[in-house]
Chain A
Amino acid sequence: DAKTTQPPSMDCAEGRAANLPCNHSTISGNEYVYWYRQIHSQGPQYIIHGLKNNETNEMASLIITEDRKSSTLILPHATLRDTAVYYCIVRVTNFGNEKLTFGTGTRLTIIP
């Protein structure tokens, strides 16, 4: 699976959009981009994933650049409960490779 690079920490004001970048310059054509987050002391929680098209769900939006070498997770109206560590993961989904490889992620702090 391709390696990802994320900033170690970010702050965002409550109510504003939080934009979390991820670089995955060595991504291959069949690798998906996944985002998970981990709120303090809890197990990670799935947020969203995508291949090459932008995706949106009730939690967030995922913007993937046309060359797929980077992506941005957008939390449109951040709340204090969005304070967490956010993990960007790239993986290919073929049999025998179902596992996720977590890096150290971005610690997002929402400021009141």
Chain B
Amino acid sequence: DAGITQSPRHKVTETGTPVTLRCHQTENHRYMYWYRQDPGHGLRLIHYSYGVKDTDKGEVSDGYSVSRSKTEDFLLTLESATSSQTSVYFCATAKSFSSYNEQFFGPGTRLTVL
């Protein structure tokens, strides 16, 4: 689906350390998204991008920043990881804005903050 890869797939880190997750897509989709998934909360949007260098906040953006310098890459950074950021992180892409805004999801990154 849309050739989406996420790296790393698993990461264990310590509180206070910076962490960067990478999402890479090969379909030239304009829109990219970062979600986190926690038990009892479903998926919640962290940040999204509607073009190179164009990003906006989602519902749970505190403690996260993003960057998109190329169409194919969308980076999520935890400046100083906390245990509350232990989660599974999903990247998604969408081709364009339209009523058929099907989002394609990557395989996820499992992050554990000790």
Listed in ascending order, the chain A residues whose CB lies under 8 Å from chain B are 32, 36, 41-46, 49, 51, 87, 93, 95-96, 98-105
Contact = CB atoms under 8 A, between A and B. Distances in A.
Interface of B: 1, 4, 31, 33, 35, 40-45, 48, 50, 56, 58-59, 90, 92, 94, 97-108
Contacts, number: 59
Nearest to A47: B102
B102 A98 contact: no
Given A43-B92, A45-B105, A46-B103, A101 B97 contact: no
Contact of B97 (A41, A95, A104): A95
A83 to B, nearest CB: 18
Chain A interface helix/strand/loop/mixed:
loop
A93 B102 CA distance: 11
Given A43-B105, A43-B106, A93-B101, A98 B94 contact: yes
19 contacts: A36-B103, A43-B108, A45-B105, A46-B104, A49-B99, A87-B42, A87-B43, A93-B98, A98-B101, A99-B33, A99-B48, A99-B58, A100-B103, A101-B45, A101-B59, A102-B35, A103-B42, A104-B40, A104-B41
